[in-house]
Each structure stands twice: as C-alpha cells, then as structure tokens.
Amino acid sequence: MLATMPHITCTIQHRSDLGVLVVRWPDDAPLEQLQADFEAVLAMSEQTATAYWMLDVRRRDQISPELGHWTTTIFYPQAAGRLAPQILRISVLCSPARMAVYAADPIQMQYLTYGLAPERPYHMRLFGDEGTAMEWLCAR
C-alpha cells in the first residue's frame, strides 16, 4: 500500500510482506517539511504496527545539523517510545557523497555517533546498498 498523505514530500510504502516501511525522499526540503515527513512516517508506523524503517535519503543532498540533532535526540527516541514494545530499527540508505560529508564534518559525525550508539532506545545503521539495508532490517 502506498501512502499518499497530504503535505509530505516523501513516499511511504508499507511492505507488509517484509514488515517494513520504505520511505523515499525525491529531493531536499526545508527542516520543517522534513519534520512533518518524519511525523507522517511515525503515524503510518503506528497505523500498521511496523517498527522497521528503511529511509532512502540518497537524493537529499543538503545535510542539516539541525535535522541530525532533532532526529537522533528527539524524534527517534520519541518514536521508539510510541512504538514500544517493538524495537524501532532504522536503516538509512545514503549516497557516497552523503557518507563523505558525515565522515568529514565533526558536527555531523557527533550526531551520527550518538544516533548509532547501542544504548539508544532505537537501532540505526547506515548503508550504501539497498539490499544490505533491507537484509539488516529483516534479520530480526
């Protein structure tokens, strides 16, 4: 089922056969819009009882430190709490250019290190390959 919710810039596809939400952004968007997109993802996740997300951000070239801070310290922990007792698992599908920015920018690396830490109430990993990203999500 493909969600066509108003006021979002991403597509949200519920893969009931895999128990995964596949979220794709076709382009960049302002911070407030991306926050609305993430809220729509959480709403679909609650509606479908699906706590495994593949976020395809390969076409989003702009990397906002504000979004990195908001997702890792506010949104993902909040989403994990709302989806409990399921464990929120997030595979982020990134372009090589985005991975290079993460590696070169100390602020981005700080948020990334925080978000990937095992003590978070959610599990997140970055991937450059969609097949590997999906395998990790499905390896419950």
**DSSP single-letter state for residue 74:** I
Q: Taking the mean position of all CA atoms in its chain, how far away is CA 69?
A: 13
pTM of the model: 0.91
What are the residues facing 13 on neighbouring strands?
2, 22
Query: Distance between CA 31 and CA 25 in Å, rounded?
Result: 13
Range of the domain at 105: 2-138
Residue 4 has pLDDT above 50, yes or no: no
Q: Count of domains in the chain?
A: 1
pLDDT, tens only, 84-124 = 999 999 999 999 988 998 888 898 889 899 999 999 999 99
* CATH number for the domain harbouring residue 118: 3.30.750.24
